[in-house]
Amino acid sequence: MPLLCMRNIDKAFFGKPANLQVCLEVQHNEIHALLGENGAGKTTLMNMLYGIYQRDAGEILYDGQNVAFSSPKDAIAHRIGMVHQHFTLVPTLTVSQNITLGLKSPGHPFPRRRDLNQQIQEISQRYSLEVDPTALVSTLSVGEQQRVEIIKLLYRDARLLILDEPTAVLTPQESESLFVVLRRLREEGHSVIIITHRIPEVMSITDTVTILRDGRNVATVKTSETSEQELARFMIGRALEPIGRSAAPPSCAGTALQLSEVTLVEHGRSKLGPVSLCVDPGKILGIAGVDGNGQKELAEVILGIRRHSAGSILLGDAVLDALGVMERKNLGIGYISDDRHHDSLVLDMDLMDNLLLKTHTEKRFITHGLLDRKKIRQDTARAVDAYHIKTSALECPIRYLSGGNQQKLILAREMAGQPRCIIAFQPTRGLDIGASEFVHQELLRLRDAGCAILMLSADLEEVLDLSDHIAVIHKGEIMDVLVNQDIDLTYIGLLMAGKRGDERGAVV
């Protein structure tokens, strides 16, 4: 008897189906992948299991019993736990306080913290989830925060764990250690449902895969009996095309984006060492590096979101140093941020308004000083069409779009109007393979049209696939800039770890 059996689940939002007759069966001791394009309905399905949404039709059998959870609390009581795409930890509390939050621990309301920490230590050792119970959550890296989320579930004795895109925010190394944990969980008798867009990950750790498309089941297969190609085909309905990065067109004259000796000092600490870079029109410069090594600072300094402390930034002939964000964008810089919910979108506004964030001062949308709703609607409809954004309506708050579709809207906004330069920071984070392919093609298309692109990504493969030149960043400094041809990966690895070329001989 399977641990979980969801049968013929239906769910519609505003009359638009997000799940149609979906079935999912999870066995004991199994790592089960839920695969599907952005907006396929994966999160929705899990939210129904977890009691966040109520299903319209269908039944859920858990441990042989018919269940209907009315809230996550209910689900947790039945030993089901979920880690959301966006974490829900309180940054100002310690790890151990976060883990026991909302529980009546022994001694409530004055829990014996030392005993609790002991218990947490035991869990973390048993599953090799290293974390310090007394540390403040705000001091933890993303990977560590995720461990805390998982310990939180194990502390509540979860037997079935749901992880929604856990690896989207992790470095490859962090993902590897997460997989070690997952395998350990399986040995200890837990089952895991993992949502991910990365097919290699699916191949390496799961036992079974269920694929959804447009809210319906496409297939359920044993991982050992399938291949990456087949999964890709199930997912997007066709085979994936390899990125055909043609040679860059002969570069147009001059430099598009140029940074000379740019530094950023905040609160007396240097965040960005003197950085000198230039990106030619029609070229992609990829910045490789471990997450958190000054990529965000670099991107924001170029946009003017943070003001650099010294040095100068040029776009073509224009000096950007004294300009505000708006003026820089008007000169033709587009920005794709790595944190779409905070930096790029107003979640409670609809699609039209989110596109307007960049264009609300443009004359074509204003008649007699007022915003012209009709034109804005048309423009939005065009963007939704061109970028294949799945939404129930243009008036739908962007909050309710799936992550991938939110990202597509940002692309539509930032790539509109022939930009001269794009700063693409983790442009495919959380995107399905089809959408990532689309983003890559768009970036290449813009490049061929003469746009200068600075791409920052923690995904080395993405950098290698797209870039004409590769720069490696470490602790806010550019270690080296290489032409993307016959690249020595160990060398890049060393640079990413902060070991310079001249030390190379010594290290190897």
Partner 1 sequence: MNRFRDALGFLAIAAILLLISVLLILAVGSDVTKAFSSFLRGIFGSFYGFSEVLVRATPLILAGLGVAVGFRTGFVNIGAEGQIYLGAIAITVLGLAAPGLPPVLMVGLAILLGFVFGGIWSVVPGILKARFGISEVINTIMLNYIALNLVGVLVRTWLKDPSYPYPMSPMLPAAASYPELLSPTRLHAGFLVALAAAVAVYVLVFRTPTGFEMRAVGLNSRACHCAGIPVYKNIVLSAFISGGLAGIAGVGEIAGLHHRLIEGISPGYGYIAIIVSLLGQNHPLGVVVAALGVSALHVGSLSMQRAAGVPTSIASIIMGTLVVLILARKSLFGSTVKLVREN
Ligand X SMILES: Nc1ncnc2c1ncn2[C@@H]1O[C@H](COP(=O)(O)OP(=O)(O)OP(=O)(O)O)[C@@H](O)[C@H]1O
The residues of the shown chain that bind partner 1, judged by CB under 8 A, are 70, 303-305, 324-329, 335, 337, 342-349, 353, 356-358, 360-361, 366, 369-371
Collapsing DSSP to helix, strand or coil, 229 comes out as: helix
| Candidate residues 6, 26, 44, 199; the one interacting with ligand X per rule CB under 6 A | 44
Identify what 400 binds: Mg ion, ligand X, partner 1, none; CB under 5 to 8 Å per kind: ligand X
- Mode of pairing for the β-strands spanning 421-425 and 333-336: parallel
Min CB(16)–ligand X separation in Å: 7
Rg (C-alpha) for the chain, rounded Å, is 24
Which of 29, 85 has the CB closer to ligand X?
A: 85
Identify what 401 binds: partner 1, Mg ion, ligand X, none; CB under 5 to 8 Å per kind: ligand X
Min CB(474)–partner 1 separation in Å: 25
- Residue 411 burial class via C-beta count within 10 angstroms: exposed 0-12, middle 13-18, buried 19 and up: buried
Min CB(435)–ligand X separation in Å: 8
Identify what 36 binds: Mg ion, partner 1, ligand X, none; CB under 5 to 8 Å per kind: ligand X
Binding range to ligand X, per CB under 6 A, among 12-20, 249-257, 294-302, 338-346: 12-20
Cβ neighbours of residue 293 closer than 8 Å, sequence gap 6 or more: 473, 474, 475, 476
The DSSP bridge partners found for residue 453 are 284, 422
DSSP 93: S
Secondary structure element (H or E) that encloses residue 370, with its range: strand 370-371
Which of 286, 403 has the CB closer to ligand X?
A: 403
Residue 10: how many CB atoms within 10 A of its CB? 16
Identify what 70 binds: partner 1, Mg ion, ligand X, none; CB under 5 to 8 Å per kind: partner 1
Type of residue at 432: D
Identify what 10 binds: Mg ion, partner 1, ligand X, none; CB under 5 to 8 Å per kind: none
Identify what 343 binds: Mg ion, ligand X, partner 1, none; CB under 5 to 8 Å per kind: partner 1
Min CB(195)–ligand X separation in Å: 7
How many residues form the binding site for ligand X (CB under 6 A)?
Answer: 20
Q: Is 460 left (phi over 0), alpha (psi -120 to 50) or beta?
A: alpha
Secondary structure element (H or E) that encloses residue 49, with its range: helix 42-49
| 94 sits near Mg ion (criterion: CB under 5 A) | no
Scan for tokens 């530094």, then name that residue.
263
Min CB(283)–ligand X separation in Å: 30
Query: Do residues 72 and 81 lie in contact, with contact meaning Cβ atoms separated by under 8 Å?
Result: no
Min CB(19)–ligand X separation in Å: 8
| 434 sits near ligand X (criterion: CB under 6 A) | no
Q: How far apart are CA 455 and CA 433, in angstroms?
A: 18
| 36 sits near ligand X (criterion: CB under 6 A) | yes
Q: CA-CA distances (angstroms) from residue 502 to 142, 288, 479, 483, 505? A: 32, 19, 11, 18, 7
Scan for tokens 């960005």, then name that residue.
272
Give the N- to C-terminal CA distance of the chain in Å, as an integer.
54
Binding range to ligand X, per CB under 6 A, among 31-39, 91-99, 113-121, 201-209: 31-39
Which of 171, 402 has the CB closer to ligand X?
A: 402
Among all residues, whose Cβ is closest to Mg ion?
43
| Candidate residues 7, 8, 10, 13; the one interacting with ligand X per rule CB under 6 A | 13
- Torsion of Cα atoms, 72 then 74 then 80 then 85, to 10°: 0
Identify what 392 binds: ligand X, Mg ion, partner 1, none; CB under 5 to 8 Å per kind: ligand X
The two tokens of residue 256 are 């598009």
Q: Is 475 left (phi over 0), alpha (psi -120 to 50) or beta?
A: left
Residue 25: how many CB atoms within 10 A of its CB? 16
Q: CA-CA distances (angstroms) from residue 373 to 350, 399, 401? A: 13, 21, 21
Scan for tokens 């920052």, then name that residue.
456
| 467 sits near Mg ion (criterion: CB under 5 A) | no
Min CB(353)–partner 1 separation in Å: 7
| 401 sits near ligand X (criterion: CB under 6 A) | yes
| 426 sits near Mg ion (criterion: CB under 5 A) | no
Write out 60-82 in H/E/C secondary structure: EEECCEEECCCCHHHHHHCCEEE
Type of residue at 226: T
Which of 85, 141 has the CB closer to Mg ion?
A: 85
Which residues from 370-399 bind ligand X, rule CB under 6 A? 390-392
Identify what 44 binds: partner 1, Mg ion, ligand X, none; CB under 5 to 8 Å per kind: ligand X
| 43 sits near Mg ion (criterion: CB under 5 A) | yes
Residues that bind Mg ion (CB under 5 A): 43
Residues that bind ligand X (CB under 6 A): 13-14, 18, 36, 38-44, 390-392, 400-404, 432
